[in-house]
Structure 1
């Protein structure tokens, strides 16, 4: 039986979140439900990159769950899994500073990730 290679998605990540992912402390990545992410699925690989650098880390996608908005996502996934260094309210404010209301209206994705050892 022929094995298929994992699909690799390249996504940018802010340094503060990248460091948490690279340390294995952030297990849920938050994204807007953009059309280019609609085919993201368990067993895919995400290569996170800090924009403008060559610094990357790779994670395995374990699960992708859609939510209506960021509040529902934080309540459903648990804020500590999204960012163990910030309160729920801080996280909500941070996420909304990155994605405006027009983006949140598209819906939110919780991407359950596991760091791939390098």
Structure 2
């Protein structure tokens, strides 16, 4: 039986999404299935940072689920968990503005998170 050591991953977030995470309102983070996230797993910590600032917040990774598209991810996870302030269609448009079709073709990750109390 092998035991895996939990890791800390540092990821940037836009301020509007950082505020939702740091308040505990955003419980699912959306990412492209990049190779550097292949080892992301339950029990890991993500340290979110607003790019070019010292503002951070840490979350526990509760679950990582792979999807073929952002549309399937939103339908599977529920848009309110990804962004409680926007409709599904607004979220899909926003995500696709951040990640173009060539990125979406890599696959999408839904990362269920829980804010770590500071």
Range class of TM-score, shorter chain: over 0.9
Tell me the CA shift for residue 6 of structure 1. 3.0
1:20 paired residue number: 20
Match of 1:78 in 2: 78
Residue aligning to 2:55: 55
Structure 1 residue runs without a partner (length 5+): none
Gapped runs of 5+ residues in structure 2? none
Q: Report whether the alignment pairs 1:37 with 2:9.
A: no
TM-score by length of 1: 0.96
- Give the TM-score, by structure 2 length: 0.96
The answer to whether residue 106 in structure 2 is matched with residue 106 in structure 1 is yes
Q: Secondary structure at the match of 2:71?
A: helix
* Mapped partners of 1:112, 1:48: distance in 2: 14
Q: Does 1:6 align with 2:6?
A: yes
Deviation at 1:4, TM superposition (A): 7.5
Residue by residue, what CA displacement relative to the aligned partner does 1:69-107 show, whole Å, maximum 9, x if unpaired? 000000000000000000000000000000000000000
Counterpart position of 1:89: 89
Deviation at 1:5, TM superposition (A): 5.7
Matched residue count: 116
